[in-house]
Amino acid sequence: MNRPILFAFLFIQNILSAQFSQRNLSSENWQFKNSKDQNWLPAKVPGTVHLDLMNNRIIPDPYKDENEKKVQWIENENWDYQTAFTVSSEELKNDNIDLVFNGLDTFSEIYLNGKLLKKTDNMFRKWTIPVKQYLKAGKNTVQVKFTSAVNTGKELAKKVPFTMPESPRSFVRKAQYQFGWDWGPRLVTAGIWKDVRLEFWNNAKIISVKDIQKRSDKGENDLHFDVEIYAQNSGDYSLELNKIHQKIALQKGTNTISVPYETRGMKLWQPNGRGEANLYDFEVQLLKNDKNIDRKNIRIGLRTVELIQEKDAKGKSFYFKVNGKPLYIKGTNWIPGDSFSPRMTKEKYRKLIKDTKDANMNMIRIWGGGIYEDDEFYKACDENGILVWQDFMFAGSFYPTDEAFLNNVKEEVKDQVSRLQNHPSIALWCGNNEIDEAIVNWGYQKQFNYSKNDSLQVWKDYKKLFHEVIPNALAENLRSDKNIYWPSSPSIGWGHKESLTEGDSHYWGVWWGEQPFEMYNEKVGRFMSEYGFQGTPTLETTKSMFSGTPDLNLQNPTIKAHEKHARGWDIINEYLKRDYKIPTDFVQYNYVSQLLQARGMQIAIEAHRRAKPYNMGTLYWQLNDCWPVVSWSSIDYLGNWKAFHYQAKRSFEPVLVSVADTDKSYDVYLISDLLKELKADVNFELIDFKGKTLWRTSQPVLINADVSKKIKSISTSEFAKFDLSGAVLKISAEIDAKFEKLFFFNKPKDLKLSKPEITVRKISPSEIEISTDVLAKDIYLVGDAHFSDNFFDLLPGTSKRIVLSKPLEKMEVISLWDVMKN
């Protein structure tokens, strides 16, 4: 019923806006089918074949039960998509009509009215096809036929004379995590995963608008815009930038017009923790005979980012200067938010980025095994002051370098860089995730019996792609200070001592190497871009793994199937034994495994921050999940904060107290990321678990801006007379900067806890107050709401107010005593 009205509206709009207009074809009635079948079924665009099969009840939800196995056949099939759409004779009067696909996953043939117009082979490219001559007034049909990426990849792999690891995934320019990861299911998708449009234009169109910034020696930001215009006909045009008008003459073909802009009065874009993330909107209009023929809107921030690497006594520095000042980086790694990324919502992106801001972070690394993220992701980062470390999408394998592959990558870089370049959040472009490391350390050459020549070839290919083709393509498309390129993360693998003295480092001795958490205190590099430990998802998310009534039991095959690391459960249990115990009760296991993860990460983050300025950044592995799973994430698939996210927030506070436990002393550090000096009277109090003060002292402290400083060293002999397994050191201050830190002397399993009487008082429907008589360690408020704090310690005789995201009828409270009592 609505359709004719809609068409009429679009039609009128086309005429009114005269020259440039576009139509969204995603909202047409799309259909799909297995290419072997006859019957077409309803489909959704943007989408993927798995979602369409689920919507048509042909497959079960792969996230539930052990269904992942049941849907593996899909990757070997070919899938056809089609829709019909109407074009008016008015629309056909435009000089140019382009059919634009923002993303096709992956190998496809595009037909318009039965004619093959294009073959595609890269999920990360945008395809623009001039179609005016193939369109007719009235009904038109577009078909996109996808061939299996797995089968195509296998064919491509045959061209390389030796076996490549992770074949066929590295042969296809497609999100690599879809082939299965140690936190992700194998779900190799196909489909029209981004919007489809028809674009109508005449005379000329704006290809891109780049904001180019330079910081002068005086510290001022110089700004101009490079407007790239394609003109079909040369002639006189005019350009308007936020109402500033200028006449321009265009040549036939591509023209670049540079437009300076006065920045006086504009405020800088600052990363989270350093001030406001100020953004400014610009509209660029192209006019012919005073009529608008095209426009582009961009939102920019004024900022400079530099990566400083200078030789020093221990190696080479690695830090970011933002707006001229060194910035200690606190953050995390991002993986795609769903195995079916087209169903990620704006709200989900916004919430996850807000969660990083709320946890005091200032950078997020988009890991190279996923996707170049949706615009919404970067917009949210721009607005929240979260810098982005952007990997190109290559991860943990060897990649081919035949001419077709290299050309394909060049186009991919061009498309992605021109889409993303204006986001002030993007700080660095990185060639790949763990490929240098894979070549040097992972032993594939031996595993696949490479000859010496094969091995040399792999290294040559690597250099070609990541030291030549990608950085050159980046430089061609990003001619400004914003082009900071780093070939591989990490630059040096964690088995080599240089990984701790220069470059960025992924330290996996804890977890993969099963070294103790305390090792984090020693393995501190210049910039830690990955380290992590798994924890179970929250109970709500665990329950969502079941299609029927959840059977919360560690032996349940569904629960087991939602851990993708081959030794995952064993490693968690090994560390549980060391620091806690292995509970048999499921809820307790879920709780303690989260505490374990939070504890390990606290040790790591604090060691990194204490080492400032030797260490200038810490990005833990990983923020989020793409399905319900046991993983390194701090926020689970449904968006719930695990114990670790609450801990990350505490450990990333701008002012942090941290205690380093050496054999001889307890060294207390005050770490400040603030740009002003700090004065405080710091109180130190040793309290037993019943609330008795055993020892106390206080001391005035003055620390400079942005430093880590040892403010006190307490000799272990001073505390020798106390039973430290039943005591906690409280370090607090109220003046200038307010902070409180509780330091325990023993591992959780060696603490002499007694049963706390925890009371919950309702203040309002969404606020409660928790209090306790004796020390309550790791209080866990169990309920399906977000709590302003959770998994926290409460000292004897104290209370804490907690805000709930929604009123709860039922809430349980447990603490570590409940687990450790027997």
CB-based contact 544:530 (threshold 8 Å): no
Select the span of 119-127, 180-188, 277-285, 708-716 touching ligand BMA (CB under 6 A).
Answer: 180-188
Q: Which residues pair with 128 in a beta bridge?
A: 100
Mask of contacts with ligand BMA, 146-175, x by CB under 6 A? ------------------------------
In the window 516-555, what residues touch ligand BMA (CB under 6 A)? Answer: 530
Least distance between ligand BMA and beta carbon 610 (Å): 24
Q: What are phi and psi of 430, to 5 degrees?
A: -120, 135
Number of residues that bind ligand BMA (CB under 6 A): 10
Nearer to ligand BMA, 632 or 689 (CB): 632
Least distance between ligand BMA and beta carbon 68 (Å): 17
Does 357 bind ligand BMA (CB under 6 A)? Our answer is no
Nearer to ligand BMA, 168 or 396 (CB): 396
**In angstroms, rounded to a whole number, what is the distance separating the alpha carbons of residues 362 and 381?**
9
Nearer to ligand BMA, 182 or 685 (CB): 182
Nearer to ligand BMA, 503 or 783 (CB): 503
Mask of contacts with ligand BMA, 403-442, x by CB under 6 A? ------------------------------xx--------
The answer to whether 498 is a known catalytic residue is no
| Alpha-carbon torsion angle 558, 559, 565, 568, nearest 10 | -150
What are the structure tokens assigned to 516, written together?
């103790």
Least distance between ligand BMA and beta carbon 632 (Å): 6
Does 181 bind ligand BMA (CB under 6 A)? Our answer is yes
What are the structure tokens assigned to 29, written together?
């009635």
Q: Which residues pair with 299 in a beta bridge?
A: 281
Using DSSP's 3-state secondary structure scheme, residue 747 falls into coil
Select the span of 179-187, 264-272, 679-687, 807-815 touching ligand BMA (CB under 6 A).
Answer: 179-187
Active-site choice (373, 434, 606, 653): 434
Least distance between ligand BMA and beta carbon 494 (Å): 10
Q: What are phi and psi of 410, to 5 degrees?
A: -60, -45
Q: Any residues with CB less than 8 A from the CB of 779 and at least 6 apart, and which? A: 758, 770, 772, 790, 791, 792, 793, 794, 813, 814, 815
The answer to whether 276 is a known catalytic residue is no
Least distance between ligand BMA and beta carbon 166 (Å): 11
Q: Which residues pair with 787 in a beta bridge?
A: 804
Select the span of 53-61, 177-185, 470-478, 581-589 touching ligand BMA (CB under 6 A).
Answer: 177-185
Does 394 bind ligand BMA (CB under 6 A)? Our answer is no
Active-site choice (68, 199, 373, 530): 530
Does 183 bind ligand BMA (CB under 6 A)? Our answer is yes
Q: Which residues pair with 184 in a beta bridge?
A: 181
Please give the helix or strand (H or E) that residue 237 lies within, else none. strand 235-241
Nearer to ligand BMA, 215 or 365 (CB): 365
Angle at 728 between CA 725 and CA 731, to 5 degrees: 155
In the window 475-514, what residues touch ligand BMA (CB under 6 A)? Answer: 506
Q: Any residues with CB less than 8 A from the CB of 398 and at least 6 apart, and which? A: 164, 165, 166, 170, 435, 438, 439, 444, 458, 461, 462
**In angstroms, rounded to a whole number, what is the distance separating the alpha carbons of residues 796 and 772?**
6
Nearer to ligand BMA, 396 or 726 (CB): 396
**In angstroms, rounded to a whole number, what is the distance separating the alpha carbons of residues 383 and 269?**
9
Select the span of 49-57, 178-186, 440-448, 550-558 touching ligand BMA (CB under 6 A).
Answer: 178-186
Nearer to ligand BMA, 21 or 505 (CB): 505
Nearer to ligand BMA, 179 or 684 (CB): 179
**In angstroms, rounded to a whole number, what is the distance separating the alpha carbons of residues 396 and 432?**
8
CB-based contact 458:436 (threshold 8 Å): no
DSSP string, 757-819: -EEEEEEETTEEEEEESS-EEEEEEESSS-BSS-SEEE-TT-EEEEEBSS--S--EEE-HHHH
Q: Which residues pair with 813 in a beta bridge?
A: 781
Least distance between ligand BMA and beta carbon 512 (Å): 7
Mask of contacts with ligand BMA, 605-634, x by CB under 6 A? ----------------x----------x--
Among 77, 182, 540, 685, which residue sits at the site for ligand BMA (rule: CB under 6 A)?
Answer: 182
Catalytic residues: 434, 530
Residues in contact with ligand BMA by the rule CB under 6 A: 181-183, 396, 433-434, 506, 530, 621, 632
